[in-house]
Amino acid sequence: MNAIEINNISKSFDDKTVLHDINLTVAKGEFISLLGPSGCGKTTLLRIIAGLELPDTGKIQTPANTFVDRATDEYLPVAKRKLSYVFQDYGLWPHMSVFDNIAFALTLQKMPKADIKKRVNEVLTLVKLVGHDDKLPEQLSGGQKQRVSIARAMAGSPDIMLLDEPLSNLDANLREELGKEIRELTHKQGITCVNVTHDRKEAQLLSDRIALMKDGVIHQLTDPVRLFKQPASKWACEFLDAGNLIEGHMIHRELGEWLVPRTAFKIENDNTDTRLSLHVDSCLFLDDRFEIAAWLANEKVFFYSEAPFDVGQNIFASLLEENLVSIKA
C-alpha cells in the first residue's frame, strides 16, 4: 500500500504555473526527496501535501484519508491531517519551553499528563536532548533547535513527516551528522518522509528515492545512485554536478554529448591512439584525494586522482567504459 498518492496536481500563482500535472506515489516507510533549483515548485508541492496551499487541480490520498480532491471539492484541513512538519527556520514557538513545544499536539489531543511527559521524554531521548525540557528555544543552538523540531514532529507518532530544507540552516559538519540521524530515526520508526531540498548532498544523504524537479514538473524519479550515475538530461548533469560533459569526437566515441564522471579517468603511462592527452591546469587536495583540472584540447575537464600532478604537466588517460553515459540533447 502506498502511503501517499499524488495525482495530477497543478498550481499557479498569478498566472505563473508553479506545478504542472504532478503524479507521484510514496511507499510506506519510504524517504523521498524533492530536489531542484529554487522556483521549481518543490516547496509548493510539499505545502500542498501539508494543506498549507490548495492545488488548482488534482487529488492527494493516503490510506486513511483523502487530503484534497479538487474534482469533488474535498479538503481535509491542515489540523486534521495528522502530519508532522520540520521547518527550515525550525518554527519553534519562542514563548514555549522545549517541553511545551513538543507537547503541543499531544495537549490538544487531550492526552493524559503523565503520558505526555513520558512521550516527550522518549522523543527527547531519540534526538539526544534529555534534560533540555525547560529551556526556551532562544537558549538553544541551531542544531539543537532543529532537533527539538524533529522531536516535536515525532511526538505524535505520525505516519507521514514532511521536511522543508531541514538541514540548510546548519553548518556543514552538523548537517551531515543530523542528516544521518534523521535518516536512521525515520527508518526505525517506519515514518514515510517527503523532504524538500536544493542541495544534492542533502538529498543523497537522506533519500531512498529522489524526484528531481524542474519548472514545475518531475524531471527524473529514481534512487540516488541511478540519478547521479545516469542523469536523464544535460540539465540534470549540470544541476547534479555529476561530472564532465564532453563531445563524443573528443573522446573517440560516437557523436553527441557524453557524461564523463570524475572517477572515470584512469591515468596511463604510455600514449596510444585511444588515450586522451591532458594538460594539467590545477591540482587541489580535497577530502582525501586530489581534484585535477586539465585541458583536453580546448575543453576543461575535472577528475579525481590518488596522486598529485604538477601544473603544466602533460599526462595521458584512458576512460573507464562502464561509467560513461550518452546524454540526449
Partner 1 sequence: MSMYKVGKGVRAPLLLNTVSVTLLFMIIGLPVLAIILFAIFPKVNELSFAAPFSQFIPQLQDERLIVATLNSIRLALAVTFSSMLVAVVLAYMRSKMAESIGRMWDVLLLIPFLIPPYIGSMGWMQLLQSNGVLDQWLNINLSNVLFSFSGVVFVITLHLFPVIYFSAASSFKVIGQRYGDVAKIYGANSRQIFSRILLPLIVPTLLSTGLIVFVLTVEEFGTPNILGSRFGFQVMVTAIEEKMSDWPIDLSGASVLSLLLVVIAISAYLLQMFITRRFACKLDNQTMTSVPSKNVWFSMVSNVIFFIVVCLAVVMPIFAIVSSSLMRTVSLGLQWDNLTFNAYTHLFFSNSDALSAIYTSLGLAAMAAVITAIIGMLVAFTLIRLKPRGKAVLDILALLPNAIPAMALSVGLILTWNQTFWPVTPYNSLFILLLAYVCLMLPYPIRMLSNAMKQLPQSLDEAAAIYGANLFVLMYKILFPLMIPIMVASSCIVFAISTRELVASLMLVPAGTETVATYVFNQFDQGSISSGMAMSFIVIVISGALIALGQYMSKRYLS
Interface contacts to partner 1, rule CB under 8 A = 50-54, 73, 75-81, 83-85, 87-95, 104-105, 108-109, 152, 156
- Run of H or E residues at 123: helix 113-126
Cell triple for 183: 535518516
C-alpha distances (whole Å) from 201 to each of 115, 151, 152, 168 are 38, 23, 25, 11
Q: How far is CA 313 from the centre of its chain?
A: 39
Residue 70 or 289 having the CB closest to partner 1:
70
At closest approach, how far in Å is the CB of 158 from partner 1?
Answer: 10
At closest approach, how far in Å is the CB of 48 from partner 1?
Answer: 10
At closest approach, how far in Å is the CB of 161 from partner 1?
Answer: 10
At closest approach, how far in Å is the CB of 1 from partner 1?
Answer: 23
Residue 106 or 240 having the CB closest to partner 1:
106
At closest approach, how far in Å is the CB of 81 from partner 1?
Answer: 8
Residue 53 or 281 having the CB closest to partner 1:
53
Integer Cα distance of 22 and 8 in angstroms: 5
For 309-323, the DSSP string reads --TT-EEEEEE-GGG
Alpha helices (H) along 190-253: 200-206, 224-229, 234-240
Residue 85 or 265 having the CB closest to partner 1:
85
Residue 89 or 115 having the CB closest to partner 1:
89
C-alpha distances (whole Å) from 2 to each of 34, 183, 247 are 17, 19, 42
Q: Which of 209, 205, 214 is nearest to 233 (CA)?
A: 214
Residue 65 or 277 having the CB closest to partner 1:
65
At closest approach, how far in Å is the CB of 244 from partner 1?
Answer: 39
At closest approach, how far in Å is the CB of 217 from partner 1?
Answer: 22
Integer Cα distance of 286 and 273 in angstroms: 32
| Residues found in the chain | 329
At closest approach, how far in Å is the CB of 14 from partner 1?
Answer: 13
Is residue 16 packed enough to be buried (19+ CB in 10 Å), middle (13-18) or exposed (0-12)? exposed
Integer Cα distance of 32 and 138 in angstroms: 31
Residue 90 or 228 having the CB closest to partner 1:
90
Residue 82 or 135 having the CB closest to partner 1:
82
Q: Which of 158, 173, 180, 328 is nearest to 258 (CA)?
A: 328
For 276-297, the DSSP string reads EEEEEEEEEEETTEEEEEEEET
Integer Cα distance of 48 and 31 in angstroms: 18
